[in-house]
Chains A and B, each alone.
Chain A
Amino acid sequence: MKTKTKLQASGQPLSLGRRIIQFRELYLFLLPGVLLLILFNYLPLYGILIAFKDFKVKLGILGSPWSEPVLKYFNRLFSMPMFPVILRNTLILSFYSLLAGFPLPIILALLINSSPGKHYKKIVQTITYAPHFISIVIIVGMINIFFSPSTGIIVNILHKLGLMSGNLEVLMTAGAFPHLYVWSGVWQSIGWNSIIYLGALSGVDASLHEAAIVDGASKLQRVIHIDFPSILPTIVILMILNSGSIMNVGFEKVFLMQNSFNTSMSEVINTYVYKIGIKEAQYSLSAAIGLFNSVVNFIMIILVNQLSKRLDQGSLW
């Protein structure tokens, strides 16, 4: 204890080793987390080797021979005639999902937070959360029943109202696929995703609002100048984290929504790999594609983080 006081008093920075010894109890608390990270996130990284090897289960990861050339599976991926199409489709779906799906929960949270009616608030929250608990299979089933070209609910309503005749072409038009995919996703997740922002909003100091009211600020002005800036750090962090999963378009939903008409827009990396690779137990190819996705995600997360830093909006590191 005496040493600590002496060193701190002298203003010298402590070396890491000394710091660990000195604050060993605190570092001990850190140990479980670090161990878990090493065990489950760093040690398995050596499995990436599969992407560069002709993996054989019997020989194991280290024992399998290197593929010739080493980048054989990457070459195969990039030389697939469909690769540009599936990459484009993947990026369209993920960026569109991010653009449409990211701001709306924030707006919903701000609206719910500013609403004076407690009961009304609760009802809106429950209704918007509910779709989150419906499984993807059911959601896709609902989409098909609602938008079915000649027998669907929507086409029947439009026919009854005299607004349309003939078939509803939504499911039969490739261009409509991204909209259907993204907006059904927004509908399903908007309520659930707004929870974290509502949590952040509940922490906003009430005195700020009181002071603003005294100064004559309108409701909208308070949302813009108090609520929004308060949750901005949360928004930025979530934005950075979301950009790190840009290549991970949900496989099940896309796969289930595919039909003969929309594959030109709906074939994404995950569904394509499933069709040509996973079912055929092509571990090396799957690992190569997984690694490619991770590298793109990694680059994205660094770019967005740097951008956010530049704009002085906070960052992950």
Chain B
Amino acid sequence: MSVDKNLLEVENLKVRFPTRTGVIEAVRGVSFSLGRERLGIVGESGSGKSQTGRAIMGLTDPRAEVTADRLEFDGIDLRSLPARERRALRGKRVAMILQDPKYSLDPVISIGRQIVETLRTHEKVSRAEARERALDMLAAVQIRDPKRVFDLYPHEVSGGMGQRAMIAMMLVAGPELLIADEPTSALDVTVQLDVLAILDRLVADRGMGLIFISHDLRLVSSFCDRVVVMYAGKVVEQLPASELANAQHPYTQGLLDCMPKIGADRHPLPVLARKAEWAA
């Protein structure tokens, strides 16, 4: 792969859900590219941010219709890729972290075995070596006693620990692109920062590309290099995270403005006056 080539190219991505009452357009022509950087996708519920992530991952509901002018990962056209090859890619080169470890880890398989399963699906490694690498990975996400946690079931660990286990599982096969869909929203604030710090270090050390999907504009801007703001299935603004204070679009400004801040005495809080033309 040449240095200047982007890891991911998305052009005019659309996701539509045919329903009894008509077609719902969840994503309506999203375009962006991603290098080995941290990109944040921000928006409120229903903005299409998660569906964008899922479409890249190839996890869109089969009833939905996904189209794009371009959807390439490392030069591979994802639109025409056979399901079998897509599966090989998923988990190995592109991985996804979901919001709540309570629901996204298998409740009847121990944490260690879930990590080993990922590894052995994608690489020919012996049982012993897989175990060794899973333990290393658990240590890398700063789990203090990997041997003990390896044999625990998801219900036996806390939310923060579960999310670390999920990060371990997703990174064990060494992906180049990681999509994190609200990875810390289900966690307590102090735990949130620990998990983000771990994610940040691993992404930097391994030179991965990261798509960080979140509703929290402030958090995303403190964590990512670049931010894509979505509204009603469209990208309304793309900007460097450091430039967030100078956001141009009224939606981005309104979203930033309506959050209570410690020390800002504003009563009542400014509310977001939605305009029909934003969705146009």
Whether both chains belong to one complex is answered with no
